Structures are given as structure tokens and as C-alpha cells.
């Protein structure tokens, strides 16, 4: 029972990373019909930005603002930095390629991914880095008699708050309706007075920015970060996106959490070494059995 609970909370934690990254995939895909393969690398870059801020001038941030303050500032830093990177990426790598069609976009996205990975390696080196233990808050305590760390609780709280906020913006506000309208039909959205460029800007800022936050939380949770971790995380978050139904916001959240749970329970009860095999096996099964994902892309065709 203790193992089960441990794996459960662990699965929810990594699932919430997947969910946040998957949200970015899904938002960008919904509006642009583009699978942004560089998204995972933006997540990794976010991890490194947070890391650099925290170790810069020997934990100045942590010393002055405390462990939680330092974590918050690192997340804000990664949020804005990666948001900016996302917008820049759209300008540099995607916008010039739009007229050339979707295949060129995919190639450009792959190129961007390689560029980012190598950029991170060139700046921070090929060896894995580690968030120093001194900057990571990790008080153990028991919740209803079950062992958790304060970091896990905070990560879950932050992730769920962010997911709820995104869900609210996209599904409940007029701007969210404008985003969904743009995703469905750009010309008609323009007729409504929606500036499609603003929507694209927002999507490419917010989607990656969420990944940036997830990157910092991931660094705090696992401590070790490496320049190429974005690739695996990107693929897993992509699997989560497919699992929940690409282009579907609640689907991305559910897909991410579910994937994290399955991965963690598989690692705990079957085999830790085979967990990635298991995850991508799920991707294949979902693609065969239910290619539109669990929730599917929302359709409203008349029956």
C-alpha cells in the first residue's frame, strides 16, 4: 500500500509535468496545426534557465528570498524567458515557412529542436548538471498518514492551478473563444475582428512558458538536468497529447496525468528499466485503437 501511494503521488507529479508540456503542444497544434517538435527542448531550456538563476552568484536569490521564494522567482524567470523564446522561435523558424506548407514546418520544427539542444550543450556543457540540494525545498511530512514531500505538494498545487487557469482562459473568456475560433477558421475569425497575429503570439508565448515552469519544477524534483532531456520529455508529453486527444485542452491535462500515473505504477510494480518502452507502447496502442485520443478533438457534426 505504501508503494502504491508513493508511486501514485510520484506519478501525479511527473504526470503534471507532462500535462503542462502537453498543454503547450496542444495549444500550438490547435491553432497552427503544427506539431512543435522543439517544444520539449524549450522545456529543457526552461530547466537550465531556472538552474542558472538559482546557482548564479552562489544562490543569491535563495539566500534573500528563501527556498520557496527562490523557486518562485526561478519559475517566473523561466516562464518569461521561455515565453519570449517561443515567440522568437515562431518569428524565426515558423513564420517564414508558413507559405511552404506543413511538411516544411515539421522539418523546421525538427531543426529548431536540434538547434536548441546543441545550443544548450554549447552553453551549459554536455555533462548533466544538478540543481544544488541547498536550493531545493524538500521537507518530508505525512499527509493523512502517508509520506509526501512539501515539494511534491507544491508542484501539484502549482500545476493544477496553472491548468485550471488555462482551461478557464481558453474555455470561459471571450479571448479564449477567439482562440478557439481562430483554430477553427482563420478567415472567419478575421471577419469577426480577431487579430489572428495576436492569437498566434499568445499561443506561442503561453504554451512554451508553461513548459518553462514545468522545466524548473522538474529540475527541482529530479535535481539532475541534461541538455538532451527535452527530447524524451517532448516525446512523452506528445504521447500524453495524443492520449488525451490533440488540440483538446482538457484532453492534454488528463492525458498527461494519466501517462505519468501509468508510467510510475509500471515502474513501481513491473520494471523501472522498461518504463519508457511501456510509455511508447501506449502511444502505439492509442494510435491504433483510438487515433483521436481518449477525449478526441471536439466535433459538432450533425448526426
Partner 1 sequence: MATVLAIKNLVVNYGAVEALKGVDVELGEHDIVAVLGANGAGKTTLLKSISRIQSIKRGSIALKGLDLATVPAFRLAGLGIAHVPEGRHVFATLTTEENLNLGAYGVRSMPAGKELEKTKEWIFSLFPILKERRKQLAGTLSGGEQQMLAIGRGLISKPHVLLLDEPSLGLAPIIVQGIFRVIRQIHEEEGVSILLVEQNARKALGVARYGYILELGKIAIEGDASDLKNDERVRAAYLGGSKVNC
Q: Which stretch binds partner 1 (CB under 8 A): 20-28, 194-202, 221-229, 254-262?
A: 194-202
Pick the binder of partner 1 from 3, 58, 188, 271 (CB under 8 A).
188
190 near partner 1 (CB under 8 A): yes
Q: Please select the residue that binds partner 1; options are 1, 127, 144, 174, rule is CB under 8 A.
A: 174
C-alpha cell at position 109: 520544427
Cα angle, residue 87 at apex, residues 82 and 92 outer, rounded to 5°: 115
Strand partners, 149: 140
H or E segment and range at residue 129: strand 129-130
Which residue from 101, 103, 133, 187 is in contact with partner 1, where contact means CB under 8 A?
187
The minimum distance between CB 138 and partner 1, in angstroms, equals: 43
With beta carbons less than 8 A apart as the criterion, state whether 253 and 22 touch.
yes
Nearest to 9 by CA among 143, 166, 136: 143
**Closest by alpha carbon to 134, among 63, 74, 217?**
63
In whole angstroms, the minimum distance from the beta carbon of 187 to partner 1 comes to 5
Which one among 42, 71, 79, 180 touches partner 1, defined by CB under 8 A? 180
Shortest Å, Cβ 183 to partner 1? 9
Residue with cell 507532462: 18
Does 3 help bind partner 1 (rule: CB under 8 A)? no
Question: Can residue 191 be called a binding residue for partner 1 (CB under 8 A)?
Answer: yes
Pick between residue 176 and residue 268 the one whose CB is nearest to partner 1: 176
Least Å from the CB of residue 139 to partner 1: 45
Which of 195, 224, 280, 287 touches partner 1 by CB under 8 A? 195
What is the spatial distance between Cα 161 and Cα 291, in angstroms, rounded to a whole number?
29
Establish if 179 lies at the interface with partner 1 (CB under 8 A): no
Query: Could you tell me which residues are beta bridge partners of residue 146?
Result: 143
- Residue by residue, DSSP assigns 135-197 as G----EEEETTEEEEHHHHHHHHHHHHHHHHHHHHHHHSHHHHHHHHHHH-HHHHHHTT--HH
Interface with partner 1 (CB under 8 A), residue total 22
Name the residue among 160, 165, 158, 138 with its Cα closest to residue 149. 138
Residue 95 binds partner 1, judged by CB under 8 A: no
What is the contact surface with partner 1 in residues (CB under 8 A)?
Answer: 174, 177-178, 180-181, 184-185, 187-196, 298-302
Amino acid at each position: 500500500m505504501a508503494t502504491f501511494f508513493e508511486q501514485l503521488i510520484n506519478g501525479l507529479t511527473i504526470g503534471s509535468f507532462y500535462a503542462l508540456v502537453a498543454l503547450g503542444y496542444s495549444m500550438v497544434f490547435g491553432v497552427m496545426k503544427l506539431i512543435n517538435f522543439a517544444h520539449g527542448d524549450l522545456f529543457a531550456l526552461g530547466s537550465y534557465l531556472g538552474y542558472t538563476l538559482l546557482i548564479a552568484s552562489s544562490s543569491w536569490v535563495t539566500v534573500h528570498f528563501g527556498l520557496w521564494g527562490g523557486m518562485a522567482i526561478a519559475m517566473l524567470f523561466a516562464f518569461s524567458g521561455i515565453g519570449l523564446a517561443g515567440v522568437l522561435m515562431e518569428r524565426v523558424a515558423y513564420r517564414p515557412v508558413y507559405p511552404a506548407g506543413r511538411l516544411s514546418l515539421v522539418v523546421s520544427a525538427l531543426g529548431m529542436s536540434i538547434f536548441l539542444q546543441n545550443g544548450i550543450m554549447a552553453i551549459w556543457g554536455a555533462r548533466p548538471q544538478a540543481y544544488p540540494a541547498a536550493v531545493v525545498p524538500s521537507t518530508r511530512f505525512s499527509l493523512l498518514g502517508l509520506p509526501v514531500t512539501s515539494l511534491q505538494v507544491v508542484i501539484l498545487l502549482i500545476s493544477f492551478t496553472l491548468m485550471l487557469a488555462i482551461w478557464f482562459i481558453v474555455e470561459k473568456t471571450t479571448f479564449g473563444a477567439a482562440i478557439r475560433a481562430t483554430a477553427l477558421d482563420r478567415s472567419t475569425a478575421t471577419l469577426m475582428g480577431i487579430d489572428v497575429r495576436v492569437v498566434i503570439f499568445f499561443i506561442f508565448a503561453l504554451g512554451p512558458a508553461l513548459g518553462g515552469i514545468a522545466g524548473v519544477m522538474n529540475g527541482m524534483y529530479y535535481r539532475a538536468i541534461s541538455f538532451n532531456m527535452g527530447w524524451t520529455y517532448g516525446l512523452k508529453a506528445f504521447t500524453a497529447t495524443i492520449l488525451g486527444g490533440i488540440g483538446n485542452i482538457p484532453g492534454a491535462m488528463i492525458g498527461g496525468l494519466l501517462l505519468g500515473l501509468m508510467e510510475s505504477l509500471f515502474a513501481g510494480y513491473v520494471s523501472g528499466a522498461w518504463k519508457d518502452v511501456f510509455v511508447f507502447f501506449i502511444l502505439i496502442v492509442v494510435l491504433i485503437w483510438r487515433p483521436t485520443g481518449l477525449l478526441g478533438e471536439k466535433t459538432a457534426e450533425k448526426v
